[in-house]
Amino acid sequence: MIVWKQLRVPLLALTLGSVILTLGNVVLVPTKDKRTVTPFVFPERVSLPQWQPSIGYPLTPTRNHPELLAQKHYRYIKKSLFLDIEMLYLKDRDGEWIFREYASISSSVDVRQREGVGYYGVGVDKQRAYLSACINPQGGSTFTVKQFNQNQYFYERYSKRLLSWLLGQEGFKDKRCLWAHLSIPLKKSSPEAAYQVLENAWFSWYQWWKPRFPKS
């Protein structure tokens, strides 16, 4: 009983300190989530099975978005067919601007899912077949904002970021995204045949990038 009385004050002080620390972070989290993300430079070359690298060109965004941290265009060729892959590194995957505005897609989208990869969208626009998806820091790829948020919620429930967040080292939510946009000219092939070409390239592309997601 005497020991408990001796320890009660320190325990209460520790509990109160933890509560104050947590509340302080809740108040300050909007500011902390805006801290600078570690710079990232896309590699000049990325190997893609069955495709040969070709000459690419720098991307020029239609607008200056603060979410866009880095970008890179890759071009490959196979039997006179050119495959273009645009990669965008976003610090905040919030909203559909990257798909509707940057890629200038106006057609309907078919959202698909692949086990071991995740969700992605395919469609045809301006005589080109395309495949788009967001590679996430954790979990599979996503296409819609809803899928992105659900994936984030699922993995952050058990995330080790909580301790770093409490210590003020990083934001609680990691909303970064590597957006991939693959496209090929439709020519005389059917959309479904073009989708199969894009999907085969995408599955290999995803497996290469997933373990190489930029460090926060």
| Tens-digit pLDDT profile for residues 100-141 | 665 556 668 899 999 999 999 999 988 999 999 999 999 999
Domain boundaries 47-212, CATH class: alpha beta
Is 0.85 surpassed by the pTM of this model?
A: no
Instruction: Please tell me whether residue 213 adopts helix, strand or coil conformation.
Output: coil
Domain ranges of the chain: 1-32, 47-212
User: Do residues 59 and 86 lie in contact, with contact meaning Cβ atoms separated by under 8 Å?
Assistant: yes
Give the bridge partners for 141, in sequence order: 118
Percent of the chain whose pLDDT exceeds 70:
63
Tokens in use for 80?
A: 């006179």
Phi-psi region at 151: left, alpha or beta (left = phi > 0; alpha = psi -120 to 50): alpha
Per-residue pLDDT, 118 = 96
Q: What is the mean pLDDT of the chain?
A: 78
| Alpha carbon separation from 143 to 133, 160, 191 (Å, rounded) | 5, 25, 19
Give the pLDDT confidence of 157-177 residue by residue, as tens digits: 555 545 554 455 445 578 899
